[in-house]
Amino acid sequence: MAKAAKTAIKTKDQKAAADAKNWTKVIRAVRSPKSGAYTFKESIVHKDKIKDYLGQ
């Protein structure tokens, strides 16, 4: 039988583990003004501020 996947963060501090779930990795495509090519910028953003970050 296959092992069950565990999604819980294992840490001694359960409050920090619960707070870690509120952060999201956001990847934006940004166009270079020089060459016109797209590059990608990665950021870790709080889930409440994602729309503000993408609206920049």
- Classify 36 as helix, strand or coil: coil
Residue 1 predicted with pLDDT over 70: no
Contact yes or no for 10/18 (Cβ under 8 A): no
Q: What pLDDT, on the 0 to 100 scale, is given for residue 3?
A: 63
How many whole angstroms separate alpha carbon 56 and alpha carbon 15?
Answer: 31
Question: What digits encode the pLDDT tens for the residues 6-56?
Answer: 655 565 677 777 778 899 999 999 999 999 999 999 999 999 999 999 887
